[in-house]
Structure formats: structure tokens, C-alpha cells
Chains A and B, each alone.
Chain A
């Protein structure tokens, strides 16, 4: 397979797309990887004319692959007892000694990615990983792992960075996970897949930071068997463009999911939260609370969808809330909450608001002596923190502190 064989599929490739073709051609990809690349090549880098990407135009954001920034310095640290897994922009490293119930296996060669056709950045990542050195890890959890896994992902000042994690959670297993993405690559795309067997539990906390040079896509999928429980809390500061996309499917009865998160976008930062939840089994529960705060020149996007098919989705209990604050004039927030419900005996709610801080409340606070900036910060913090309450112990306070700094403009902007 040569670059010229691949090129025809891409219509009018951009410089960046051509570079991606070259990069892929340099690997000796197997059939699986080639299939993934072909699917990616059908659309190329996602762009505004694709409905799901109308507010996040990756093609425009990455015209050519350029080196990313150095990683943001971060003052967030995982709990001491955490098991640390690191990605340097190219390959994973992890400890030799692992506790019982946890297995980590690097994988080379393509690994089937079933949802490639719906997730172009996921398809690209599936094509670009599975090569040496270890850029793909299979993580198998077969018991209750007491210590949290701490996953640190850096772009390593590269022009492109791709990594993949596949979590296999056996019956009744239990995993706490903290993922910290700190940017540092011109184009970074990570694919994280979760398969939860019956009664398996995952509690996932994600912190995403990057600079205004970095384009990042974090694509996650989760399949939940009966009575499985998946909780996710994300705090994202965005980058030049950041897309955090989560596709979750309830496949067994009585599974439960929480998808909470907050995005905080300063001037020049773009954050996109996209989620898709399918209630493919009866009596499953999904609770989703997304909060956002966007400053002048920042852009926040929320796209959420609940799909409840007719026969299998009975007794669904689902709630999707998105609430955002425009901190200044010139802030942009786009939201598209969607409920697509065909089953008739369900409880589905959704709410979507964007607005500004209440002037009356601000005046009241100022009257008590708080300077306006402090009053705004306190009010916004209280608003945001609600979406971070389910973050992991030991991380939650740090996320709140990072939120505080952002709101007081004390965060160092890279």
C-alpha cells in the first residue's frame, strides 16, 4: 500500500490530510488498520459540513501538521497510591508490578474498532495505533482494584500523537480512573474503549488541558452489560480545538451511567462535549449534567443525544441537563440536546440554558463587600462545581481549585 493508493479516497486533501496519508503509509498496516484508515478517508478530517461537526471544524483547525506546544505545567497530582500509566506522545509506559486483578498488555497490530464509521477521529486513531512502540494497551480488570489508575497523556511536543486504550472489565470488577490530558501535540487523537461485563463498575475522572496551538480529540466508547455502572466526570479547558466525545450504550438491563462534566473556555479556547447514549436494554438509567462557562473569545459546545429504541428501551430513566454561563460579551456557546425516543414507557427529561450571571445577585454580593470580580468568581464557581461533585476523591478538590483559578484569571494560559 502506497500513499498514492490511499489518496484517491480523500477528496481535495488538505496539507494535513496528505501528511496523515504519508504517516499511515510509512506503517506497514494490517487489514484492520487499513479498514479503519479507509473509513477515515471517506470523510477526511471532520469538518463543518458534517452535521456532528458543524461547530468543531477539525479540518480548518489543522491545516498542516505542526509541532504542538510544550505541555502545560500542571499543579494537579494523582493520589500517592495511584498506579501510574504514562503516554509520552508516542508510547505508553506502566509499572511492572501490578496489583491482583489488573493486567496491562501492550498490543501491536490492528484491533477492531466497531464504531469507526460514526467516529472519524476514532477511526483515524484505530488506523494510526497498533504500531511499535506500544501505543495501544489492553487493560483487563478482573477484580476490585483498590488503587486508582492514573493515566497521564502528553503530546510530547510532536506534530501528531495517537494513542489507544482498551479496557476490559470482567464481571463485578471495579476500577477508578483518573485521566489527565495536558496537550502538547499539534494534532492529538486518543481512543479509549470500555467494555463492562455484568455488574462491573467504572468511575472515570478526566481533566483536559492544552494550549491554543493544540488540537485534541478524545473519543471514548462504553458498552454496559446488565447492572453495570459507569460514572464519568470531565473538566475541560479546551485548546485550539478540543473535542471530547463519548458514546455509551446500555446493552443489558438495569445498567446505570452518569456523564457529568464542565467546560471552561478562556479567550482563544474551543471545547466541544459531544455525547451519544443508546438505551439498548430495558430499565437503564442515564444521568447527565454538563455545565459550562465561557469568556470573551472562547467557544463552548454541547451536543448530547439520548436514543431510546422502541422495543428494547422500555422503562428508561434518563435526564440530560446542560447549563452554561456566558462570562462576557463575545463568548460563544452552542448547544444541541436531542432526545430520540421511540419507546412509550420511559422517563426522559432534558434542559438546556445559557445565560449570564444574575445582576441582582452580583449587586447583593458587592454590597456585602465582595469586589465584582470576586463576586462573579464565587457565583460561577458554585455553578460549575455541581457538575464536579462526583469526581474522584483526591482529585475533586484539585479540579475545584483549578476552576477557582480559571475564574479569577489566575490560570496561566499557554
Chain B
């Protein structure tokens, strides 16, 4: 639930307001999509919500299940249930995927006062999810994202999401760079995680992913605000007409 969120990036002369009073509510159990032209502020929104350094919130609030996100450190937000599938996943040299994901899960559990995941449970779960996503065990032994292809990185983001089972997931262009089969695989993964307790926000440029995911709502983000909201048919309209028509309409 975002209310009147405004945020700026950069310092001094380079400072720039990107989000300008953005409001949005994604109830638990729903999947919403955000579409919008390049540079509209979609990734900025995902970084503001996850607490990246350099993204300063100047106004408004962001809550997850009633908890104020903006006061928390990025890892606290993660422990509160927030997950971001990065538009550009980052390489973590020397840290194998399995080590990393296990450390992440246990850190979150620790922050919530829960017990650690046992080694056998973890391995079993990793194997099952790896199978669904077509990720072999060899790949999970490699350092996170190092030398992974663009599509492999995106699949690994979904792998992590399914392992971590967040309360709320933001997928920033997880579909870009995926081949047709991988797109289907990823969409299956997302659908598998749909549940009445979980909300998802899917940022995308393409109708194709939404065909598989069928979002409850589609929002158009332009110039730092949500300018239009509709059902899945809005995505189809955008695919046909581009943003010009809608931007004109909104103005």
C-alpha cells in the first residue's frame, strides 16, 4: 500500500525528483502489473520500496501489512516479507548460490525469531524448485550470477523468490531477456506462488508475460505517477496503441 509517494535521486545539482505523488494498493492475494515508458520511474519505485541508498523519499508512505517500510533497513524490509527480483541481477563473486540463499533464508528467519532451516530441508527444497525452473545442481554451486547468461540470471531471481517465499514480491522486468520457454517456466513459478496471503507487483513492457500470469489489475506509470488503472485488457490496449494514446487521454 503506497500513499502519495514522492522520491528523489541524486545529490545537489544532479538531484532529480522521479516519483511524484504515487499511490497504489496491492491487496494480499492479488497480482498487479505496472507498465510504463522507459524512464518513467518503475525501477525507481522498486528501489525506493526496498530501501536502496541514494533514493530519498521526500513525501508519502509505504506500508506492507500495516508495517511502515520506509523506516526500515533493506534487510529488515526483506525479513518483513519484501522481495525484489532485480531488473539487472548483481554478481556476488565467490559466494555460491546455495550458500547465499541459505544464509539469506536463515538471516530472515533469525530476524523474525524463527528457527533456522535444516540442511536436509533446504537441499530438498532447492532441488524441487530447481527442477521446476530447469536449474541444475551444477548451477547452484556456482557463485551467484557470476558468468550466468541474462536469462539464467532472471531464472535465478525466481529461484530465490520461490526459496524465500516472500509476503510481497516485486518483479522488475523479470521477463526481459528470457526465451519463450523460459518465460513460460518463470510465469509458472510466479503462478505457483500465488496465494491469498501474498501480493505481487509485476513490472513489464510486454503483454506476453501477462498472458501467462493474468494480473488482477494493470497500472500505467508515467512521469512518476500512476496515470491509469484497468484490468488485463489495458495491457492489450497498450500493446496495440502504445503509450502515446493513453498519455494523451490522461492529459
Chain A residues with a Cβ under 8 A of chain B: 358-361, 363-372, 374-375, 378-379, 381-383, 385-386
Contacts and interface: CB of A to CB of B under 8 A. Distances in A.
Interface of B: 50-53, 73-75, 77-79, 83-84, 86, 89-95, 99-101, 103-105, 107-108, 111, 143, 160, 164
Given A363-B53, A374-B103, A378-B103, A369 B94 contact: no
Contacts of A360: 90
A229 to B, nearest CB: 27
B94 A370 contact: no
Given A367-B84, A368-B104, A382-B143, A361 B92 contact: yes
A369 B93 contact: no
Contacts of B51: 366
Nearest to B104: A368
A365 B93 contact: no
A230 to B, nearest CB: 26
B84 A369 contact: no
B198 to A, nearest CB: 16
A363 B104 CA distance: 13
Contacts of B108: 369
B164 A364 contact: no
Nearest to A380: B94
Nearest to A382: B94
A112 to B, nearest CB: 45
A379 B94 CA distance: 7
B91 A368 contact: no
A398 B72 CA distance: 36
Given A359-B53, A363-B52, A378-B103, A371 B93 contact: no
B89 A364 contact: yes
Given A361-B92, A370-B107, 12 more contacts: A360-B90, A363-B53, A364-B92, A365-B92, A367-B75, A368-B104, A369-B75, A371-B111, A378-B95, A378-B100, A378-B103, A385-B94
A130 to B, nearest CB: 46
B103 A370 contact: yes
A368 B105 CA distance: 8
A374 B77 CA distance: 16
Nearest 4 CB-CB pairings of A with B: A382-B94, A369-B108, A368-B104, A369-B78
Nearest to A360: B90
A236 B94 CA distance: 21
B92 A367 contact: no
Contacts of A382: 92-95, 143
A379 B146 CA distance: 13
Contact of A368 (B73, B111, B143, B164): B164
B75 A361 contact: no
Nearest to B106: A369
30 contacts: A359-B53, A361-B90, A361-B92, A361-B93, A364-B92, A365-B100, A366-B74, A367-B50, A367-B74, A367-B78, A367-B86, A368-B100, A368-B101, A368-B164, A369-B75, A369-B105, A369-B111, A370-B104, A371-B73, A371-B75, A371-B107, A372-B75, A374-B103, A378-B100, A378-B103, A379-B93, A382-B92, A382-B95, A383-B93, A386-B94
A357 to B, nearest CB: 11
A361 B51 CA distance: 14
Contacts of A365: 92, 100, 104
Contacts of B105: 369
Contacts of A371: 73, 75, 107, 111
B78 A366 contact: yes
A393 B173 CA distance: 45
Nearest to A368: B104
A379 B84 CA distance: 20
Contacts of A367: 50, 74-75, 77-78, 83-84, 86
A361 B91 contact: yes
A14 B79 CA distance: 59
B113 to A, nearest CB: 14
Contacts of B91: 361
